Homo-oligomer: A and B are copies of this chain.
Amino acid sequence: MDSKTLCLGALMLGDASGYEIKKLFEEGPFSYFHQSSFGSIYPALGKLMAEGLVTCDEHAQEGRPDKKVYSLTDKGRAAFRKALSINPQRDRIRSESMYMLFFAHLLDTGHVRKVYDGYLEGFRQNIECLDGLSSDGISPSRQFVRGFGRTFYEAAVKYMEENRHMLLPEDEAPKAKGDKT
């Protein structure tokens, strides 16, 4: 799914600037299952403009740089639907943490611990973020996707809490004792 389609989808949620679109992929609803960077967003928006799929209003702001707010045209909305009517490609995942954990037996224990705990904490934070979101007025689709993400994070936390001993066997005994006192 190319960046043009990703931007079209972002604008389906409402008019937005390039920066705001980036935020949707970085911290917003898309961040859990897709990504896109400035280097691809701005050229994509330019192309969408050239193709008549979006329009752009430049707004001056106080205390901030000017802002270009992009809107979908009818043509853009139609193009978006069309782009989403294809067969989806397979999910693509790149996890450096998981790659490192795969080779944990070759790595320094302290480093494995750091990677492990950082990864686990990341999942916990994702759950917190999701739980802090309002579900007022969002579509069932969006609720579905959010719930899917939450399910995954919870399963990850649970698995990692229960199976830490597989990678960090020496952490288990002293920690369990500490908790009991």
Using CB atoms and an 8 Å cutoff, list the residues of chain A in contact with chain B: 1, 6, 9, 12, 29-30, 32-35, 80-81, 84-85, 87-108, 111, 114-115, 118-119, 122, 139-145, 147-148, 151-152, 154-156, 158-160, 163, 166-167
Which B residues touch A152, using CB under 8 A? 152, 155-156
Q: Give complex CA distance A108, B82 in Å.
A: 10
Q: DSSP majority for the A interface?
A: helix
Number of identical monomers bound together in the oligomeric complex:
2
Most buried by B among A88, A104, A158: A88
The 6 lowest CB-CB distance pairs between A and B, nearest first, are: A88-B96, A155-B155, A33-B98, A104-B141, A33-B95, A88-B97
